[in-house]
């Protein structure tokens, strides 16, 4: 397989983007990406979107996006793995380039979630859970992650303050990110006094409903060198795994096995360990998710995610920064776009262009993009060459 580089990234400021349609978002992210890359060559593309059918009455984005981008006949693949659709779009684009099927491949992630009412959005998101055994009975994602949180508290003594600190840290980072949907710093009290959603999770433990898109342009390292891209950001590892879609089938609610396997596979492919990574973008759809994910990825031992967060290990200036972008919590979570945006943030950090939220000496990063309550996970290892 050929070595693959990322030569461009693009995303707009995320939020409630009433003036932009689904197709507008996808095309805008692609154009921003071309501008950043200094080339608009694409031989193929992938589109990550979780449920444009339920959110927008629009499937067939594999045709729609290249069409509205003005690229007739482009081979185009829409991939879906719930909230990991964006990561999967990047992974699929990676394989297209690595295999030699195409030389320049654009990966776009997009979700336009605010065109439906809150209950329809909650239903659409719940289709990432097991419809027959979870969603049909009325459980939605706040409830599923609340069960994970309760199990984690019970097993490891994780506290409400530790959960809250994930949101505080991510909002602090997001306040330095001009593209974040909610770029305001908050305090622990903001979280603890917010509306109870699904005990023990409160409003500020939850990522928001967001409209947004993100895009990355991949090509071979050889081509990237011809374009004189410096510093050169290379995808040295991709990892991907699935787990039971329903929580009831897990041996241990606190252990995200797909997250562990995907991260291990990506690191193994890169010939690295988690200790070689300088920071991570992690799927904090709920505060407990970041804690479980960092444990599954081996950043800390199981049960140590809460204490490490309180101790500042994962802060921008900590030993292992997590979610310098602000994460899903502050940056927003247009589900199909999230995994692509994680890559955009890593590229920005590795290039040293992250301004006030720049991590010092960032040379290697790992991403973790989760589907459902851990039913799937995609990780990428990115390094400077």
Residue 100 touching a copy of itself (CB under 8 A): yes
* Window contacting a copy of itself (CB under 8 A); options: 94-102, 105-113, 154-162, 346-354: 94-102
Position among 13, 16, 31, 53 found at the interface with a copy of itself (CB under 8 A): 53
Residue 218: phi, psi to the nearest 5? -110, 145
Number of chain positions touching a copy of itself (CB under 8 A): 63
Please state the closest distance from residue 371 (CB atom) to a copy of itself, in A: 6
Of the candidates 98, 91, 105, the residue with the CA atom closest to the CA atom of residue 2: 98
3-state secondary structure of 108: strand
3-state secondary structure of 217: strand
CB burial string 340-362: b at 16+ within 10 A, e below:
bbbbbbbbbbbbeebeebebeeb
Please state the closest distance from residue 35 (CB atom) to a copy of itself, in A: 23
Q: Kindly give the pairing relationship between strand 44-48 and strand 105-112.
A: parallel
Active site residue 83: yes
Q: Based on CB atoms, which residue is closest to a copy of itself, 50 or 168?
A: 50
Of the candidates 343, 381, 346, the residue with the CA atom closest to the CA atom of residue 46: 343
Residues 342-371 that bind a copy of itself (CB under 8 A): 371
Helix crossing, 85-99 with 335-351: angle to 10°?
60
Residue 372 touching a copy of itself (CB under 8 A): yes
Position among 29, 32, 56, 247 found at the interface with a copy of itself (CB under 8 A): 56
Residue 197: phi, psi to the nearest 5? -105, -60
CB burial string 105-135: b at 16+ within 10 A, e below:
bbbbbbbbbbebeeeebeebbbebbbeeebb
Residue 62 touching a copy of itself (CB under 8 A): yes
Q: Based on CB atoms, which residue is closest to a copy of itself, 165 or 243?
A: 243
Full DSSP string of 281-349: EE--SBHHHHHHHHHHTTSS-TT-HHHHHHTTTTSTTSSS-B-TT-HHHHH---HHHHHHHHHHHHHHH
Q: Based on CB atoms, which residue is closest to a copy of itself, 37 or 45?
A: 45
* Tokens 């991949």 sit on residue: 218
Non-local CB neighbours of 79 within 8 Å, separated by 6+ positions:
46, 47, 48, 85, 88, 89, 92
Rounded Cα distance between 306 and 287, Å, is 10
Please state the closest distance from residue 122 (CB atom) to a copy of itself, in A: 12
* Window contacting a copy of itself (CB under 8 A); options: 54-62, 172-180, 200-208, 300-308: 54-62
Residue 21 touching a copy of itself (CB under 8 A): yes
Per-residue contact track with a copy of itself, 112 to 141, x per CB under 8 A? -----------xx-xxxxxxx--xx-----
* Window contacting a copy of itself (CB under 8 A); options: 25-33, 51-59, 166-174, 195-203: 51-59
Position among 92, 175, 181, 210 found at the interface with a copy of itself (CB under 8 A): 92
Question: Which residue in the list 171, 283, 333, 380 is annotated as catalytic?
Answer: 333
Please state the closest distance from residue 141 (CB atom) to a copy of itself, in A: 12
Cβ pair 327, 175 in contact under 8 A? no
Residue 75 touching a copy of itself (CB under 8 A): yes
Position among 16, 43, 59, 276 found at the interface with a copy of itself (CB under 8 A): 59
Residues 266-295 that bind a copy of itself (CB under 8 A): none
* Window contacting a copy of itself (CB under 8 A); options: 30-38, 53-61, 270-278, 295-303: 53-61
Full DSSP string of 13-74: --B--TT--HHHHHHHHHHHHHHHHT----SEEEEE-S-HHHHHS---HHHHHHHHTT-TT-
Tokens of 94: 């990676």
Please state the closest distance from residue 137 (CB atom) to a copy of itself, in A: 12
Active site amino acids: 83, 333
Q: Which residues bind a copy of itself (CB under 8 A)?
A: 1, 21, 23, 50-51, 53-54, 56-64, 66-67, 72-82, 88, 92, 95-96, 98-101, 123-124, 126-132, 135-136, 240-246, 249, 257-258, 261, 371-372, 375-376
């Amino acid at each position: 397989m050929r070595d693959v580089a990322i030569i461009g990234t693009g995303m707009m400021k995320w939020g409630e983007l009433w003036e932009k349609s689904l197709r507008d978002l996808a095309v805008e992210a692609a154009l921003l990406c071309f501008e950043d890359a200094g080339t608009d060559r694409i031989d193929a593309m992938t589109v990550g979107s979780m449920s444009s059918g339920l959110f927008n009455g629009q499937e067939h984005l594999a045709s729609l996006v290249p069409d509205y981008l003005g690229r007739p006949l482009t081979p185009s693949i829409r991939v879906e793995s719930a909230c990991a659709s964006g990561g999967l779009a990047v992974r699929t684009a990676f394989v297209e380039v690595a295999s030699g099927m195409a030389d320049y491949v654009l990966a776009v992630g997009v979700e336009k979630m605010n065109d439906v009412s809150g209950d329809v959005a909650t239903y659409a998101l719940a289709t990432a859970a097991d419809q027959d055994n979870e969603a049909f009975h009325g459980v939605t994602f706040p409830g599923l992650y609340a069960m994970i949180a309760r199990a984690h508290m019970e097993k490891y003594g994780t506290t409400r303050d530790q959960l809250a600190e994930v949101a505080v840290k991510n909002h602090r980072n997001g306040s330095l990110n001009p593209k974040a949907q909610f770029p305001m710093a908050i305090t622990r009290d903001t979280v603890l006094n917010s509306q109870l959603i699904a005990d023990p999770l409160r409003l500020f433990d939850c990522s928001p409903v967001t409209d947004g898109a993100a895009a990355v342009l991949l090509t071979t390292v050889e081509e990237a060198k011809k374009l004189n891209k410096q510093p050169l950001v290379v995808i040295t590892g991709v990892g991907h795994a699935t787990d039971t879609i329903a929580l009831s089938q897990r041996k241990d609610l606190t252990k995200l096995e797909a997250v562990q396997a995907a991260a291990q596979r990506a690191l193994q492919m890169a010939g690295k360990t988690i200790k070689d990574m300088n920071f991570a973008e992690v799927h904090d759809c709920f505060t407990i998710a970041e804690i479980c994910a960092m444990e599954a990825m081996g950043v800390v031992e199981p049960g140590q995610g809460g204490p490490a967060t309180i101790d500042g290990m994962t802060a921008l200036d900590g030993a292992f920064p997590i979610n310098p972008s602000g994460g899903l919590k502050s940056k927003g979570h247009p589900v199909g776009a999230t995994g692509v945006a994680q890559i955009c943030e890593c590229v920005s950090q590795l290039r040293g262009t992250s301004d006030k939220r720049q991590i010092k000496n960032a040379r290697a990063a790992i991403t973790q993009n989760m589907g459902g309550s851990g039913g799937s996970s995609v990780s990428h290892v990115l390094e400077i060459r």
